[in-house]
Amino acid sequence: MKHFEANFDGLVGPTHNYAGLSFGNVASQNNAALISNPKAAAKQGLQKAKALADLGLIQGILAPQERPDLYTLRRIGFSGTDANVLQQAALKTPALLNACCSASSMWTANAATVSPSADTRDGKLHFTPANLVDKLHRSIEPITTGRILTATFNDPHYFHHHNHLPEHNSFGDEGAANHTRLCKEYGHAGVELFVYGQEATNPNALKPKKYPARQTLEASMAVARLHQLDDENCVFIQQNPEVIDQGVFHNDVIAVGNQNVLFYHEQAFLNTNNKLDEIRRKLDSELYFIEVPTAQVSINDAVKSYLFNTQIVTLPSGDMAIIAPTDCQENPAVNAYLNELLTLNTPIKQVKYFDVKQSMQNGGGPACLRLRVAMNQDELAAVNQHTLLTDALFNRLNIWVDKHYRDRLSTQDLADPQLIIESRTALDELSQIMKLGSVYQFQR
Ligand code: SUG
């Protein structure tokens, strides 16, 4: 049976804005209060996804979440009509309103951790939505994420959906952004790499000093247990706390893997050599560990350009390509490194650049925008087919974006009650286009 890796990209929602909500994420903080362009953001994401589909890869779309999140605002004591709730929140707690308006569900690398059926004891594909407890605006995502994932992967014969982990910082879980799977072929059992920022229950363990370590070892181990992975298929690696303090808030800002390639920065991990040995022991395959030295690319350049927030994809020809943001082309050190990489004897033979600046300005590169799901043909046939990106869906979604999205949004605009109507009208139509059922609270 044919096996492959599908990418499910997050569709950018109508309230995409820059509110500076993510302490530790340099781009989010530096671009706070910039005026966003939700229409351009959604189209940039769709273009990137369509280009991957045109390369012959399986590409799906995950629907955005309902924002403004009036349910959270009501839960914290605002009342009256929807317009009243929004306006009172804008007046009294603008920071909380901003948190309830973020379109952050677009970064579907943080939607969930996914383990393919080749790795799991029950032979099903497992999903655990990330609880994202480190950031208020993200901690309100997991329930709807679970609904959207279940509506997309909607056959219990093939797909096993778990609840998100307990909502406490001992179990801080950021999903696939801290998870990479190495394997010989997608259909063979692989080794799942869980990269964590701190061991929450060990007071003596190393952790960053300045910025939060969002992912805990406890969460990573819980996901591995839930997904029925064997110890022989897992490697737990601690992220270097010093790079977290320089803006590497997720592992996918400093490392990315695909099949038998692990592409990472020299300073990405603690205890690197031992961990690479463990991977070699656990995975019976020729492996390419591509380590990028600080002398060629500094942490600062890696964080600015998102060199490692690239997607490494296997093309139908068997060669691999890197899907990079245009910011990598614009950074001289990174551009030079990528040109050199193509001359090294590795499976990576091409680099393709995409403008995803609307997302990048909030710290989300190409890899943040997608959730990887390694699967086989039967599993693909069991996916909700209306979520797969065909020419027809691409055209339909572009028309839908043109109809419903603004091309300018400031944080002041988030107090506009019209935004509630626009967003709900758009999402109601989208849930029909993608045949998702009533995934949104306003539809229930
Ligand atoms: O969680 N930014 C997101 C970016 C997530 C990137 N994802 C991965 N690396 N996989 C975050 O920090 C910024 C929102 C704002 O400031 O308006 C934000 O949420």
Phi first, then psi: give them for residue 375, nearest 5 degrees: -155, 175
Distance from residue 82's CA to the centre of ligand 1 (Å): 27
Substitution site in 16, 104, 306 for ligand 1 pocket (most atoms within 8 Å of beta carbon):
104
Residue 14 near residue 426 (C-beta atoms within 8 A): yes
Distance from residue 81's CA to the centre of ligand 1 (Å): 30
- Which helix (DSSP H) or strand (DSSP E) does residue 26 occupy? helix 26-30
Nearest to 190 by CA among 284, 318, 319: 284
C-alpha 75 chain-centroid distance: 27
Atom of ligand 1 nearest to the CA of 367: 10
pLDDT digits (tens, 9 = 90+) for 256-296: 999 999 999 999 999 999 999 999 999 989 999 999 999 99
- 87: three-class secondary structure by DSSP: helix
Nearby residues of 202 by Cβ (< 8 Å), 6 or more positions away? none
CA terminus-to-terminus distance, the chain: 39
Give the model's pLDDT for residue 253: 98
Beta strands in 167-266 (DSSP E): 179-182, 191-196, 234-238, 255-258, 261-265
Which residue's alpha carbon is at the smallest distance from atom 10 of ligand 1? Answer: 368
pLDDT digits (tens, 9 = 90+) for 321-369: 999 999 999 999 999 999 999 999 999 999 999 999 999 999 999 999 9
Substitution site in 12, 15, 17, 22 for ligand 1 pocket (most atoms within 8 Å of beta carbon):
22
Atom of ligand 1 nearest to the CA of 362: 13
Instruction: Tell me if the pTM is above 0.75.
Output: yes
Report the alpha-carbon distance of residue 306 to residue 109 in Å, rounded: 14
Residue 432 near residue 424 (C-beta atoms within 8 A): no
Distance from residue 254's CA to the centre of ligand 1 (Å): 15
How big is the chain by its Cα radius of gyration, in Å?
Answer: 20
Which residue's alpha carbon is at the smallest distance from atom 1 of ligand 1? Answer: 22
Tell me: cis bond preceding 203? Omega within 30 of 0 counts: no
Which residue's alpha carbon is at the smallest distance from atom 6 of ligand 1? Answer: 364
Residue 372 near residue 29 (C-beta atoms within 8 A): no
Helix extents (H) in 261-390: 272-282, 299-305, 326-330, 332-341, 357-360, 377-382
Average pLDDT over every residue of 388-401: 98
Tell me: cis bond preceding 68? Omega within 30 of 0 counts: yes
Atom of ligand 1 nearest to the CA of 32: 16
Atom of ligand 1 nearest to the CA of 249: 9
pLDDT digits (tens, 9 = 90+) for 184-214: 999 999 999 999 999 999 999 999 999 999 9
Distance from residue 409's CA to the centre of ligand 1 (Å): 17
Substitution site in 137, 307, 362 for ligand 1 pocket (most atoms within 8 Å of beta carbon):
362
Report the alpha-carbon distance of residue 380 to residue 238 in Å, rounded: 33
Mean pLDDT (the chain) is 98
Pocket of ligand 1 (CB under 6 A): 18-22, 25, 28, 102, 104, 107, 109-110, 135, 138, 177, 250, 252-253, 362-364, 368
Active-site residue list = 174, 250, 368
Which residue's alpha carbon is at the smallest distance from atom 8 of ligand 1? Answer: 368
Q: What percent of the chain has pLDDT over 70?
A: 100
Atom of ligand 1 nearest to the CA of 28: 16
**Confidence category of residue 33, pLDDT binned at 50, 70, 90:** confident
Substitution site in 25, 69, 361, 371 for ligand 1 pocket (most atoms within 8 Å of beta carbon):
25
Q: Quote the tokens at residue 195.
A: 């990269």
Average pLDDT over every residue of 120-144: 98
